[in-house]
Amino acid sequence: MEIPLTISSTQEALKRKKIKAVELVDAYLARINSLNSRLNCFLTVSEESAYTKARKVDKLIEDFKEKAFDDYPLLGTCVSYKDLFLTEGIRTTAGSKVLESFVPAYSATYVDRVNKAGGITLGKTNCDAWAHGASGENSDFGPTKNPWNLDYVPGGSSSGSAASVASNLTLWASGTDTGGSIRQPANFCGVVGFKPTYGAVSRYGVVAMASSLDSMGHFTKCVDDAERIFNVTKGEDGKDGTVKNAKFTMPNARLRLGIPEEYFIGGIDKEVEENVRKAAKVFESEGIELVKVSLPHTKYAISVYYIIQPAEVSSNLGRYDGIRYGNQRESFGEEAKRRIMLGTYVLSAGYYDAYYLKAMQVRSKIIQDFEMAFKKVDLIIAPVSPTPAFKLGQKASDPLQMYLADILTVAGNLAGIPGLALPSGFTKAGLPLGFQLLGPRFSEYVLFELGKLYERAVDYKPNVREI
């Protein structure tokens, strides 16, 4: 059976009774059983609950016909969740041996909303332990492989989610983006990656990495799917005090796209830069005005991020003491220990003012840079990563080099703004290339509009890797 690649095509096939939801689950599980041993995308496959939900979906369609799709906007869509998202009755490990056998008693708000909208959960995807990583190699359960070349990383920390969508083991998948962990793996795997504004989607029930930076988003095969899912997951839930029912910006008649000079610095791979500039020209040919902008404090973003983020990590991981649940702290991996120690150090007496407080002050400058730029332009276009996907093991022994893989994404998290990563071709070696669009807070629908415009302009077709 040929599996539909988008939400619209999946639901159209269900409406016309070309397929049943149970048959979709059959097809996805067959691919998972066939390919997961090579890719290591899934840590847990929830076969029984998937079939139970699929049968309910088929019954809804039989009883209510097309009206069922109005009442349940994600009806029949098969989803996998990054293993940070709590899923009632389904194991949640955060990619760590500390939580190897933890089964939560409730689901995250994000998961609950998708379930109520008709989504079918296939399972939980691999990730860097506690979301600490930029390659997928820090999972305590082994690295995920890039579907386009199994010798390369898929990006991290949402490695399994990105790779599972790219290899069509699932229609779409959730992810978290704390410093680029949706946009970067989407870029490395050739899929669409969406990071919402901080405060647009509830973090309740998602294992926290850095609480002032974490954003709950998703991976899809097209921009329209990203928008449909956001319409379900956004908004207040009464459980996350940072979330509000915001007034979202809508597209203007005449849009301006900023090109930040600081994102095209030395060290950017030539194929990456050429690809992003080519994408900018596509927008220009569609009537979008290109404007040069400056974000002068970008050069400090990675330093600021690796002070603030470990500080919050050390606080959040303090609860995993092996007393109430989980294994003993000896189960923490090397990267988790590194970040706990670094974070504890910058928060300690005598160093707080010198490091953490100073980093927060520079964070304010980075936010101001974006605010000034967005007075001139509606959105910004930039590379996602300085390089395409790199080889497994290439940076694993050098934490500093691994941290620098996030150099072009962390500023967006520090500013709390939304981002959309789009695939836009391949390197000469056959690895995916792409770019990111960044917008002011709560400009998600402007991002979606420009993303769909790009897809129409280049006659974009989803890139699914057949292994």
**Neighbouring-strand partners of residue 82:** 125
Is residue 299 among the annotated active site residues? no
For residue 181, indicate whether it is catalytic.
Answer: yes
Choose, from 20, 53, 82, 195, the residue flagged as catalytic. Answer: 82
What is the spatial distance between Cα 263 and Cα 453, in angstroms, rounded to a whole number? Answer: 23
Candidate list 107, 158, 174, 181, residue with the active-site label = 181
| 157 tagged catalytic | yes
DSSP structural state of residue 61: H
SS3 content of the chain, % helix, strand, coil (to 5): 45, 15, 40
- Rounded Cα gap, residues 129 and 400, in angstroms: 18
- Spatial contact of 24 and 158, defined as CB atoms under 8 Å apart: no
Tokens of 29: 């599980």
Whether 166 and 423 have beta carbons less than 8 Å apart is answered as: no
Identity (one letter) of the amino acid at 435? F
Catalytic residue among 157, 167, 174, 314: 157
- Sign of the alpha-carbon dihedral angle for 21, 25, 31, 32: positive
| CA-wise closest residue to 112 among 239, 209, 4 | 239
Query: What one-character-per-residue DSSP string does 115-176 give?
Result: HHTT-EEEEEE--SGGG--SSSTT-TT----BTTBTTB---SSSHHHHHHHHTTSSSEEEEE
Q: Tokens at residue 132, please? A: 């600490």
Give the catalytic positions in this structure. 82, 157, 181
